[in-house]
Amino acid sequence: MKPLIIGLDASRAAKAQRTGTETYSLELIKQFAQLATSQRRLRLYTAHAPHQTDWPDSPYVETRVIPFPRLWTHLRLAAELQHRPPDILFVPAHVLPLYCPVPTVVTVHDLGYLHYPETHPLFQRWYLDWTTGRHSRLANHIIADSMATQNDLVNFYSANPSRITVVHLGRNEKLHHVSEANIIAQTKQRYGIDGDYLLYLGTLHPRKNLTRLVEAFYQAITALQNSQLKLVIAGQRGWLYTEIFGRVQTLGLTERVIFPGYVTDEDKATLLSGALAYVFPSLYEGFGLPILEAMTCGTAVLTSHSSAMPEVAGESAILVNPHRTAEITTGLIALISNPRLRQQLVTQGYCQAKQFSWEKTAIQIWDVLETTVP
């Protein structure tokens, strides 16, 4: 009996530095490798040799490295699919090849570019709109990270709900609360952090609402007359991040707001564990993976009541209107001044995070892949 070959665009997962979609791709690949058998094989396509030391090493997993200088998805991957077609192609990060001779399943993570077009460059906005509209018409099936994303696909692109399956993301089970004070102190020193701090960890991007966060932080420490607390905004610089730096300078917070840059996976748990709270008042998220990461590390969370974030946080975080600086300020004041509230959120957060796992995510998507093959 001929084995079923599940093809997967692994180009994002092979990158050295990962954000949300890259993490999603890699975690699924690792879980899919556990599900692969002699009759259900996995074929991974990537433009470059993977950087990850935990890349699957299995007799049932094949990695096809197919280099190409430009338009890798639309030209090189499409040619590979024509030459050696799998039985189905799974694309975990938005873009289907222009020509695809096999059935397809694609994950759509979010449609934030429609809700907040001003937070995306013009070309990126057009490209996302074009690709998502195309997926809604042509993909055999769509995976949506949340009910919020599914609703957007139906409302904006008239996608058929029967062709969409909502599958929540998992949590990084390697993350854990770091309790050793010396390790936390050493890590803080390495990133230029001293004293107590609130932490944002993610891309510096207008959609993350960081300018309002800075303003709310200023108002909170002023109201509390707290002269020591820091706000740490960690992560890669995205688009239009200079406005954030400008607001910090205008408010006189250059000594109170710290920008340590990209945080390695090895240090993420330590910085989360050492924080007074994790603050994530994003304008829009298709899921909100950082919320789960903070809860897993035993950190109280403040996040937004919009899009998918309530699906992830449940009742285990302070939820605020991200458009109202005063509401973010009130939430910060509650977190800073109330240790009992923080501990309550930590306890609830542990329970909430345990509901999510990459194993569960992978099994649900693998089932969709198998049932979508004609």
User: What is the set of domains in the chain, with CATH numbers?
Assistant: 4-170+357-372 (3.40.50.2000), 181-353 (3.40.50.2000)
The owner of tokens 């109170």 is 256
Residue 14 has pLDDT above 90, yes or no: no
Q: Are strands 277-280 and 301-304 parallel, antiparallel or unpaired?
A: parallel
CA 373 to chain centre: 28
Q: Does 196 or 93 have the greater pLDDT score?
A: 196
E strand residue ranges, the chain: 4-9, 40-46, 61-65, 88-91, 104-108, 141-144, 164-166, 197-201, 230-234, 257-261, 277-280, 301-304, 318-320
| Phi, psi dihedrals of residue 315, rounded to the nearest 5° | -105, 20
Least confident stretch, 60-74, 108-122, 177-191, 206-220? 108-122
Is the model's pLDDT at 291 over the cut of 80?
yes
Q: How far apart are CA 94 and CA 134, in angstroms?
A: 10
Mean pLDDT in residue range 23-31: 94
Could you tell me the pLDDT band of residue 52, with boundaries at 50, 70 and 90?
Answer: confident
* Contact between residue 189 and residue 195 where contact means Cβ atoms under 8 Å apart: no
Starting at the edge strand found earlier in the chain, the sheet holding 197-201 runs 257-261, 230-234, 197-201, 277-280, 301-304, 318-320
Mean pLDDT to the nearest integer, 198-227: 95
Q: What is the pLDDT of residue 17?
A: 67
Q: Decide: pTM greater than 0.85.
A: yes
Of 28, 178, 36, 47, which Cα lies nearest the Cα of 91?
28
Range name among 140-149, 171-180, 332-341 with the lowest pLDDT average: 171-180
Q: Please, which pLDDT band fits residue 367 given cuts at 50, 70 and 90?
A: very high
For residues 117 and 30, give the distance between their C-alpha atoms in angstroms, rounded to a whole number: 34
Distance of CA 233 to the CA centre of its chain: 16
- Is residue 273 classed as helix, strand or coil in its secondary structure? helix
Long-range contacts of 115-124 (CB under 8 A, 24+ apart): 115/152, 115/283, 115/284, 115/307, 116/206, 116/207, 116/283, 116/284, 118/206, 119/205, 119/206, 119/207, 119/239, 119/240, 119/283, 120/207, 120/239, 121/239
Largest Cα separation within the chain, whole Å, is 72
| The two three-digit tokens of residue 244, written as one number | 């954030």
Counting Cβ atoms within 10 Å, is residue 156 exposed (0-12), middle (13-18) or buried (19+)? Answer: middle
Distance CA 5, CA 36 (A): 10
Round the average pLDDT of the chain to a whole number and report it.
94
Measured between alpha carbons, how far is 113 from 124 in angstroms, rounded to an integer?
A: 9
- Average pLDDT rounded to a whole number, residues 273-281: 98
* Position 21 confidence tier, pLDDT thresholds 50, 70, 90: confident
Task: Report whether pLDDT(139) > 80.
Answer: yes
Return the pLDDT at 292: 95
- Scan for tokens 């995976």, then name that residue: 143
Whether residue 119 has pLDDT greater than 80: no
Lowest mean pLDDT among 28-37, 145-154, 203-212, 357-366: 203-212
